[in-house]
Amino acid sequence: MLVLDDVRVVYPDFEVRYDLTVPTDALCALIGPSGGGKTTLLHTVAGFAPVASGTIRFDGRDLTALAPAERPLSILFQDHNLFPNLTAAQNVGLGIDPRLRLDGAARRRVEDALARVELAGLGQRRPAELSGGQRQRVAIARALVRDKKLMLLDEPFTGLDPGLRADMIALVDALRRERGLTVLMAIHSPEDAASVADLVAFIADGRVDAVGPPSEILAPGRSPKLDRYFRRSG
Amino acid sequence: MSRLPGCLALALLIGVVALGFIGLLSAGGSGAAIDWGYVWSLVRISLIQAGLSTAVSLVLGAALALALARRSRFRGRMLLIAGFNAATVLPAIVTVFAIVALFGRSGWIGEAARAVGLDYGSWVYGLDGVLLAHILLNAPLAARVFLAGLGAVSAEEWRLAAQLGMPPGSVFRFIDWPVLRREAAGVAALMFLACFSSFAIVLALGGGPRVSTLEVAIYEAVRFEADFSRAAVLALVQVGACAAILLPALILFGRRMSEAPPGGVAAMRPDIGSQRLRLLDGAILVLMGFLVLVPMATIAVGGVASLASLADGAVLVAMLTSLAIGVPAGALSVALALGLATLARDLRLRLLRPGLADLTGAAATLILVVSPIALSAGLFVMIRQWVNPFAVGIPLVILVNGLMALPFTYRQVEPPLLLAAERFGRLGDSLGLRGFGRLRLVEWPLLRAPLLVALAMATALSLGDLGVASFFGRGELVTLPVLLHERLGSYRVAEAGSVALLLTLLVAGLFLLAQRVSGGSIARPR
């Protein structure tokens, strides 16, 4: 279970406050207006945001004070998930050893992970030689070899075509069921999440405004902010 | 907009350069009377000197950039960076003054060494002094380019490195090193070119035949021996060598160097906690601070100490002479850039000849190949047939200085002009905006700041010029750099201080103005 218990993050120009509980193995979609705090929530869990008070726990372990590398999670950003001068295989390999000293077994693991995301044989390509969707698959492959139980995705599929986007979300859904991952996924278009998400959290003005199953959140009348976001009258 | 100004600018540019070349080729003749062994030895020492200057500047610049990138907040960081930036815009002859006043026999350190009974030679005259001066100018420049490159690394890459738990070695290998390698090529080519064609520093510190450059040799051939055929051959070799350095660099690394100022991203670097790196960075910052900032402090202190020497009138006259050359040279350069840029834009957008447009732009850049002294020598030889070149010295200095600043003014002016057309061209056409009204409403708001920046930079470059002014001035056209060089040459270091300070203030003021106007940071054009 992932718990954000009254977590307050203070930046010089703005402040956010989160309360959120996501059961183990669940996929929670984060929706909400741009600038509302979705990315900051993910950065807070990943350890990139200055937490002023509150606690972040995952499966009973307190993450609040841990360095980013010590947290049991992987994160995918919208862009720049790969180091541009390293090959796809090297980028995945960094997930096993950040010094990139890989033995035969490690290299096989990299190949297996690339194959799992349908990139078998493309390991020697550099990011510039891959399509946008392929680049994000490499990042997912790295998350696989890191083998962490919590996965954070910050709108990583927003730039892709609708069909491709659906494929990628289906891939994430399949992997989390395979491996028992807890997933927190910020998305741009809420309808993408309806079929796969167990939970939808609506983030606005730096708060978790509403949480619930997709059917509840995507239906009118749950909260005024939510209704405004969907341009519907409550 | 009419194509006439652009065609005139292009005709002037091509005409002057062609005139110079005709002069050189006619005076150089077959080159039969030339001691080629001497020419090759000059080329060899120039290559060695430029290679060493560039290599050391690159290494120190990279170390400095990494130290500043990793230490993103400490007391005095902004001041330190401002000092390093200022060092890159110092006129070369002022750097010479700082080195002589600090490290020279009767400089601060020389005096101190003698006071405690140490034997302190005059090592600043020769290869060591030339290298030191070149490093002072170039290492902070390299650091600036590297720092901008590191600042352009996306925040995600740093977060990713933190999340993957990269140790400092891996951060360097996978993130820093690729940036440094990518940026190094372009800045190295520019620095090599600058050191290979170095004039003021080598003239003042070269110590006669020990270190020289072709530029200095051309000047000496004309000035002291009136040997025009030798000057012409040397100038042709100089142009050939510059082309050989610059053209491959432009083709290979034509991409612009990073200019984005680093934001607050550096705090994300996962390697800032390393104790060993902290010590290393501290050592680098102290070393570079001493190497670069102490000479600059020498200018301030030396200048203030000799303020009384301003009273003799010579300095005031020199300043007025400098301004009378620098301001018109700057205006000429901006006018030429504006003409060429409108012509290039017209070729690109209206006549749909992007190839010709690129060629016009290249003409503005390729003037870098024709070094100032080589061009001066060619013009001198040509004009001599009609009038006494010294009699028209001031217009010639203005002309050459204006042309030399063209690559930088063009780079300022061209992008906003193109932007104005791309962004508002169709809108302006559909509204029937033409002529002056269009200029005022569409172009001027986008151009105002870049024009001012270009004018300030070109004027500052001309104010710092020693070579062309002494070439055509025959010692009678006394600008501030010429006066400073004279006083240094006659070992009146104390009296030179006030001139150095005045020149520094003028040039730094112009760069500060440019920086303020552009709202960003300006690298020294060279």
Residue B262 has pLDDT above 70, yes or no: no
Of B164, B169, B170, nearest to A95 by CB-CB distance is: B164
pLDDT digits (tens, 9 = 90+) for B40-72: 889 999 999 999 999 999 999 999 999 999 988
Interface of B with A in 361-420 (CB under 8 A): none
Contacts of B162 in chain A (CB under 8 A): 47-48, 67-69
Residues (pLDDT < 50) of chain A are 234
Helices of type H across B29-76: 36-70
| Range from B34-43, B163-172, B245-254, B413-422 carrying the lowest mean pLDDT | B245-254
Calculate mean pLDDT across residues B344-370: 83
User: What's the confidence (pLDDT) of residue B249?
Assistant: 75
Q: Within an 8 Å CB–CB cutoff, is residue B159 touching chain A?
A: yes
Determine the straight-line distance between the first and last CA of chain A, rounded to whole angstroms. Answer: 32
pLDDT more than 70, % of chain B: 93
Give residue limits of the domains in chain B.
Answer: 4-29+48-518
Q: Which string of DSSP letters, residue by residue, matches B212-260?
A: --HHHHHHHHHHHH--HHHHHHHHHHHHHHHHHHHHHHHHHS-SPPP-P
Interface contact B178-A94, CB threshold 8 A: no
Average confidence score pLDDT of chain B: 85
Q: Which of B157, B164, B169 sits opposite A80 (nearest CB)?
A: B157
Closest CA–CA distance from residue A209 to any residue of chain B (Å): 27
Residues of B in contact with A83 (CB under 8 A): 157, 160, 174-175, 178
- Closest Cβ–Cβ partner in B154, B170, B268 for A99: B170
ipTM of the modeled complex: 0.83
Q: What angle do CA B249, B255, B256 make, to 5 degrees?
A: 105
A48 contact residues in B (CB cutoff 8 A): 159, 162, 268
Question: Counting one residue from A and one from B, how many pairs have CB atoms under 8 Å apart?
Answer: 62
A156 CB within 8 Å of a chain B CB: no
- Residue A13, min C-alpha distance to chain B (Å): 14
Residue B280 scores a pLDDT above 90 = yes
Which among A69, A84, A100 has the least Cβ separation from residue B163? A69
- How much is the CA Rg of chain A, to the nearest whole Å? 18
Q: Which whole number is the average pLDDT over B3-23?
A: 87
Chain B nearest CA to A216, separation (Å): 34
Higher pLDDT, B93 or B261: B93
Size (chain A), residues: 234
HSE, CB side, 13 Å, CA atoms: give it for residue B309.
Answer: 20
B contacts of A67 (beta carbons < 8 Å): 162, 165
Q: Which chain B residues touch A79 with a CB distance below 8 Å?
A: 154, 156
Task: Answer left, alpha or beta for residue B208, where phi above 0 means left and psi between -120 and 50 means alpha.
Answer: left
Is the alpha carbon torsion for A124, A126, A130, A132 positive or negative?
positive
In one letter, which amino acid is B89?
V
Q: Which of A49-63, A84-98, B208-222, B452-466 has the lowest mean pLDDT?
A: B208-222
Task: Please answer whether residues B138 and B108 qualify as being in contact, where contact means their C-beta atoms are separated by less than 8 angstroms.
Answer: no
Residue B436 Cα distances to B8, B348, B417, B443, angstroms = 20, 21, 15, 10
Q: Give the model's pLDDT for residue B520.
A: 52
> Residues 17 to 46 of A: which have CB under 8 A from any B CB?
43, 46
CB-CB under 8 Å, A94 with B164: yes
Name the band, by pLDDT with cuts 50, 70 and 90, for residue B29: low
B180 in contact with A, Cβ within 8 Å: no
Find the mean pLDDT for residues B285-313: 85
Q: Chain centroid to CA A203: how far?
A: 15
Instruction: Quickly list DSSP for chain A.
Output: -EEEEEEEEE-SS-EEEEEEEE-TT-EEEEE--TTSSHHHHHHHHHT-S-EEEEEEEETTEE-TT--GGGSSEEEE-SS--S-TTS-HHHHHHTTT-TT----HHHHHHHHHHHHHTT-TT-TT--GGGS-HHHHHHHHHHHHHHHT-SEEEEESTTTTS-HHHHHHHHHHHHHHHHHHT-EEEEE-S-GGGTTTT-SEEEEEETTEEEEEE-HHHHTSTTS-HHHHHHTT---
Amino acid in position B468: V
The answer to whether A98 contacts B166, with C-beta atoms less than 8 Å apart, is yes
Contacts of A80 in chain B (CB under 8 A): 154, 156-157, 160
Q: Which residue of B has its CA nearest to A86?
A: B174
Q: What is residue B260's predicted lDDT score, i.e. its pLDDT?
A: 45
Question: Mutate which of A44, A99, A100 to disrupt the B interface (most B C-beta within 10 Å)?
Answer: A99
Q: Indicate yes or no: CB of B175 within 8 angstroms of CB of A83.
A: yes
Rounded to whole angstroms, how far apart are CA atoms B184 and B158?
21
Q: Report the residue of chain A nearest B172, measured CA to CA.
A: A99
The CA distance from A163 to the nearest CA of chain B, in Å, is: 26
Pick the CATH number of B4-29+48-518 from 2.60.120.10, 1.10.3720.10, 3.40.50.2020, 2.40.50.140: 1.10.3720.10
| Predicted pLDDT at B269 | 84
Q: Do B178 and A98 make contact, defined as CB atoms within 8 angstroms?
A: no
Q: Which residue of A has its CA nearest to B177?
A: A85
Residue B293 in this model has a pLDDT that exceeds 70: yes
Inter-chain residue contact B156 with A98, CB threshold 8 Å: no
Q: What is the distance between the alpha carbons of residues A176 and A22, in angstroms, rounded to a whole number?
A: 14
What DSSP string runs through B310-323? GGGSHHHHHHHHHH
Inter-residue contact A135 to A127 (CB < 8 Å): yes
CA angle (B81 as vertex; B77, B85 as ends), nearest 5 = 170
Per residue in B101-136, pLDDT (tens digit) is 888 877 888 888 888 877 777 788 888 899 999 999
Q: Is B268 on the interface with A (CB under 8 A)?
A: yes
The residues, any chain, with a CB within 8 Å of residue A186's CB and separated by 6 or more, are A29, A30, A31, A38, A39, A41, A42, A153, A154, A155
- CA distance to partner chain B, nearest, from residue A220 (Å): 36
Residue whose pair of structure tokens reads 């660099």 in the numeric block: B249
| CB–CB contact B268 A47 (8 Å) | no
Q: Give the model's pLDDT for residue B68.
A: 92
A98 and B167 in contact by Cβ < 8 A?
A: yes
Residue of B nearest to A99 (CA): B170
What mean pLDDT comes out for the span B224-240?
87
In chain B, the N- to C-terminal Cα span, in Å, equals 30
B152 at interface of A, judged by CB pairs closer than 8 A: no
Q: Is A85 on the interface with B (CB under 8 A)?
A: yes
